[in-house]
């Protein structure tokens, strides 16, 4: 056998691949997962480095498509230190198994968008932090009656459709997802145009009927933002956006869901994943208080009070995002639904990758996919280490 530079073998491990946990080694080269059969029989090479995983579980890295901030950083507020704020959160997320994420901006004024958006670059992951996939813009094109923690003053209509979107946001070069209310005049034109530009459209913060939701899906939308929250409650004569889970539309509908033990009742989690198992996408919806103690924070122009780990708009009982990271959401989801370990992990990796159309490279441990993964204790699901492009970017102290 001859050595070939750059080949790493992860041995004595379990691997999540194709919705099954198997006992198999994982081989990495040049940041990509490789087929060991080709290594053995064609190249006749052996690994330069072997990593003993001590029977831990290797799963695809978590992909969080809705992160408002954390560790004191709010992505919607500070216009002067945007890049430093993104870098801080991206670095901290590594300890929670997150290898890719979408920084999220809530409803803001036009000036904020024009100043902040150009500074949130799409950046590949490294030891400096998780991959920045692109911004998730949540608002300002939402229903005032379902605003949640969003500020009335900046909520806007979509009368000119895509033209209004471009005018308010400015450049969309760094944008990956836009959440809007599909019942607004001009929304379908915006959805169609944004989809043609390669931007994913989510419906949310909305009082839309099921029929209006289905029209949005037919025009290109494929996501629902934080299911059950900030939308009409399910009703048997018109189930609203919740009804999209059982819709007969041709395309798969994905839905973000906050399984932090606060935003969504365990029974609601079970109803959602049993109705549309392929569509569930676990999101943290974490705010600036993520990773920090109770106290005073903010989300965009709103003041936030965190008490016992619950984030409220100050002076109210309105929830405004979570304080939990995605690894905690995975554990809560598994416990609440009694689902398989494989399913819980894929809900935070493969499913979000599919919702963004990047599952050819991310969210899987298949050959030729990016070597973005997390090594977990298979019993507790605690993160032992996080790897991006085959490089260890975080390791637990012990």
Is position 229 annotated in a ligand binding site? yes
Q: Is the pLDDT of residue 2 over 60?
A: no
Is position 200 annotated in a ligand binding site? no
| 112-163 residue pLDDT tens | 999 999 999 999 999 999 999 999 999 999 999 999 889 999 999 999 999 9
Is position 136 annotated in a ligand binding site? no
Q: What local confidence, expressed as pLDDT, does residue 42 receive? A: 78
Is position 236 annotated in a ligand binding site? no
The enclosing H or E element of 12 equals none
Arithmetic mean of pLDDT, 371-398: 96
Task: Classify 2-59+364-395 by CATH class.
Answer: mainly beta
Q: How confident is the model at residue 254 (pLDDT cuts 50, 70, 90)?
A: very high
Q: Report the mean per-residue pLDDT for the chain.
A: 95
| 78-122 residue pLDDT tens | 999 999 999 999 999 999 999 999 999 999 999 999 999 999 999
Q: What local confidence, expressed as pLDDT, does residue 250 receive? A: 84
Is position 138 annotated in a ligand binding site? yes
For β-strands 45-46 and 32-34, DSSP reports them as unpaired
Structure tokens at 132: 């920045």
- Residue among 285, 359, 370, 372 flagged as catalytic: 285
Alpha helices in 198-312 (DSSP H): 210-218, 266-275
Is position 226 annotated in a ligand binding site? yes
| 272-295 residue pLDDT tens | 999 999 999 999 999 999 999 999
- Could you tell me the strand order of the sheet in which 310-313 lies? 295-299, 302-307, 310-313
Is position 68 annotated in a ligand binding site? no
Residue in the structure block whose two tokens are 């600036």: 288
Percent of the chain with pLDDT over 90: 92
Nearest to 73 by CA among 28, 120, 35: 120
Contact 272, 257 (CB under 8 A): yes
**CA torsion, ordered 168, 171, 172, 178, to nearest 10 deg:** -20
CATH topology of domain 61-356: TIM Barrel (3.20.20)
Is position 205 annotated in a ligand binding site? yes
DSSP assignments along 343-388, one per residue: HHHHTTTHHHHHHHT-TTTSS--STTSB--EEEE-TTT--EEEEEE
Is position 278 annotated in a ligand binding site? no
Q: How confident is the model at residue 58 (pLDDT cuts 50, 70, 90)?
A: very high
Q: Which pairs count as long-range contacts for 384-388, CB under 8 Å and 24+ apart, including other chains?
A: 384/56, 386/61, 386/94, 386/95, 386/97, 386/98, 386/99, 387/61, 387/99, 388/61, 388/99, 388/124, 388/125, 388/126, 388/130, 388/131
Contact 371, 387 (CB under 8 A): yes
Q: What local confidence, expressed as pLDDT, does residue 398 receive? A: 65
Residue in the structure block whose two tokens are 């490294």: 126
Q: Rounded to an integer, what distance in angstroms lies between the CA atom of residue 287 and that of residue 193? A: 30
Q: Rounded to an integer, what distance in angstroms lies between the CA atom of residue 276 and that of residue 263? A: 19
Q: Is the pLDDT of residue 1 over 50?
A: no
Q: Residue 7, exposed/middle/buried by CB under 10 A (0-12, 13-18, 19+)?
A: buried
Is position 319 annotated in a ligand binding site? yes
Cis peptide bond prior to 140, omega within 30° of 0: yes
* 285 assigned to active site: yes
Structure tokens at 376: 């977990």
Q: Where are the domains of the chain?
A: 2-59+364-395, 61-356
């Amino acid at each position: 056998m001859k050595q070939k530079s750059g080949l790493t073998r992860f041995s004595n491990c379990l691997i999540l691949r194709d919705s099954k946990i198997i006992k198999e080694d994982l081989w990495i080269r040049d940041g990509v997962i490789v087929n060991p059969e080709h290594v053995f029989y064609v190249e006749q090479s052996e690994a330069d480095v072997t990593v003993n995983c001590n029977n831990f579980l290797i799963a695809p890295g978590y992909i969080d498509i809705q992160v408002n901030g954390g560790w004191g950083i709010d992505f919607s507020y500070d216009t002067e230190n945007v890049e430093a704020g993104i870098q801080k959160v991206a670095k901290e997320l590594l300890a929670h198994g997150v290898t890719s994420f979408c920084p999220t901006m809530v409803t803001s004024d036009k000036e904020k968008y024009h100043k902040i958006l150009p500074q949130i670059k799409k950046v590949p992951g490294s030891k400096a932090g998780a991959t920045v996939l692109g911004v998730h813009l949540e608002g300002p094109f939402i229903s005032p009656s379902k605003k949640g923690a969003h500020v009335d003053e900046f909520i806007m209509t979509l009368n000119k459709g895509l033209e209004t979107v471009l005018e308010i946001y400015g450049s969309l070069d760094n944008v990956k997802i836009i959440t809007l209310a599909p019942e607004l005049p001009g929304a379908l034109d915006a959805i169609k145009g944004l989809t043609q530009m390669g931007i994913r459209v989510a419906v949310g913060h909305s009082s839309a009927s099921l029929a209006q939701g289905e029209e949005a899906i037919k025009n290109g939308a494929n996501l629902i933002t934080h299911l059950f929250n900030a939308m009409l409650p399910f009703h048997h004569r018109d189930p609203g956006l919740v009804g999209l889970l059982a819709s007969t539309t041709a395309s798969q509908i994905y839905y973000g869901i906050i399984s932090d033990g606060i935003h969504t009742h365990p029974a609601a989690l079970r109803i959602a994943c049993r109705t549309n198992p392929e569509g569930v996408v676990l999101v943290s919806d974490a705010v600036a208080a993520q990773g920090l103690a109770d106290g005073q924070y903010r989300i965009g122009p709103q003041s936030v009070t965190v008490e016992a780990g619950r984030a409220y708009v100050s002076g109210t009982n309105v929830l405004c995002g979570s304080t939990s990271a995605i690894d905690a959401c995975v554990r809560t989801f598994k416990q609440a639904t009694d689902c398989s370990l494989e399913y819980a992990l894929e809900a935070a990796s493969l499913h979000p990758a599919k919702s963004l159309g990047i599952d050819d490279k991310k969210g899987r441990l298949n050959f030729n996919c990016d070597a973005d993964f997390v090594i977990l204790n298979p019993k507790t699901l605690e993160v032992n280490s996080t790897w991006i492009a085959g490089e260890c970017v975080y390791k637990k102290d012990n």
